[in-house]
């Protein structure tokens, strides 16, 4: 009988240890096959912020931003499956990623988070707020439009069930060196801060090539111009300085949103959080910390 009691005590202690370990992993840095991303939970606060990185980027793109809010907010920083070294999942689509984040919010009972998304992450933020308006309190869109192709071709129409196999075949046929050189060339058009070039480049080359191609195909075929009319929450849109040349066309894309604030950076390129840091920080602070 004594031996049985000792065994039971050991079992209970072992179980508690395992539960504690699982809790640490989930709250620290975890990927669950239920969700199409890896996430890191940090900070503390009754209000939560969810950070969604852009195309082929790591959640680390938000490191400096997140530090500004961890004292007062619970922060969830995502890295999407297949990007920046995170294990890929089969059949990624823009819609799957949007619904995956919505499921994460509901299943983890995250009460009306603020969503901050960069580039494709900004597109996901808009789609989340449009299709799941009851879940979101505010969104910040960092250098993304409801339909980027329509900026130069207003008559653009998304292709239903678009065949992505040609671009997947092309992208996966590149050698590692060819893909590296291709990404290296594009970095100078995306990031003005040269100290960040290698960081962003490494995220790209560590991304799964099939996911890279498939999500590029899906996102470039996404048109949210009408959909964003369903957004009920306040929206802040921060755009790179070059976009000031397209103000009328950009305002047209956002015209259906009830409460939207369009702002244009004073300098830099696509990675506004690196290239116009002070301006970017001031914009976020006034919007995030504003009551209501």
- What does the pLDDT look like over 86-120, one tens digit per residue? 999 999 999 999 999 999 999 999 999 999 999 99
Flag whether pLDDT at 154 surpasses 50: yes
What is the rounded average pLDDT of the residues 125-138? 98
Q: DSSP 3-state assignment of 12?
A: helix
- What does the pLDDT look like over 205-215, one tens digit per residue? 999 999 999 99
Q: What percent of the chain has pLDDT over 70?
A: 88
Q: What's the pLDDT band for 32 if we cut at 50, 70, 90?
A: low
Mean pLDDT, all residues of the chain: 90
Q: What's the pLDDT band for 290 if we cut at 50, 70, 90?
A: confident
Flag whether pLDDT at 24 surpasses 50: no
What is the chain's percent helix, strand, coil content, to nearest 5?
A: 50, 15, 35
pLDDT at position 34: 87
Flag whether pLDDT at 2 surpasses 80: no
Cα(first)–Cα(last) distance of the chain, in Å? 62
- What does the pLDDT look like over 257-279, one tens digit per residue? 999 999 999 999 999 999 999 99
- What does the pLDDT look like over 215-248, one tens digit per residue? 999 999 999 999 999 999 999 999 999 999 999 9
Flag whether pLDDT at 22 surpasses 70: no
pLDDT at position 31: 52
Q: Look at 13 and 97; give whichever has higher pLDDT.
A: 97
Flag whether pLDDT at 10 surpasses 80: no
- What does the pLDDT look like over 155-170, one tens digit per residue? 999 999 999 999 999 9
């Amino acid at each position: 009988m004594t031996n049985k009691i000792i065994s039971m005590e050991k079992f209970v202690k072992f179980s508690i240890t395992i539960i504690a370990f699982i809790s640490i992993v989930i709250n620290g840095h975890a990927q669950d096959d239920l969700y199409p991303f890896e996430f890191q939970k940090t900070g503390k606060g009754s209000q939560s912020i969810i950070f969604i990185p852009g195309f082929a980027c790591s959640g680390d793109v938000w490191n400096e931003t997140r530090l500004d809010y961890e004292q007062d907010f619970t922060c969830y920083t995502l890295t999407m499956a297949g990007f920046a070294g995170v294990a890929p999942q089969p059949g990624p689509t823009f819609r799957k990623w949007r619904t995956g984040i919505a499921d994460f919010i509901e299943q983890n009972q995250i009460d009306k988070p603020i969503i901050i998304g960069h580039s494709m992450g900004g597109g996901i933020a808009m789609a989340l707020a449009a299709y799941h308006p009851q879940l979101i309190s505010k969104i910040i869109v960092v250098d993304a439009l409801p339909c980027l192709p329509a900026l130069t071709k207003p008559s653009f129409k998304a292709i239903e069930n678009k065949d992505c196999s040609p671009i997947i075949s092309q992208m996966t046929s590149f050698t590692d060196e060819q893909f590296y050189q291709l990404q290296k060339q594009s970095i100078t058009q995306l990031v003005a801060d040269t100290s960040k070039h290698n960081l962003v480049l490494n995220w790209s080359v560590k991304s799964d090539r099939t996911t890279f191609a498939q999500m590029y195909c899906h996102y470039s075929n996404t048109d949210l111009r009408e959909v964003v009319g369903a957004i009920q929450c306040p929206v802040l849109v921060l755009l790179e300085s070059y976009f000031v040349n397209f103000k009328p066309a950009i305002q047209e894309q956002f015209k259906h949103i009830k409460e939207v604030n369009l702002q244009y950076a004073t300098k830099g390129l696509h990675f506004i959080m690196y290239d116009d840091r002070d301006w970017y920080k001031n914009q976020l602070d006034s919007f995030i910390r504003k009551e209501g």
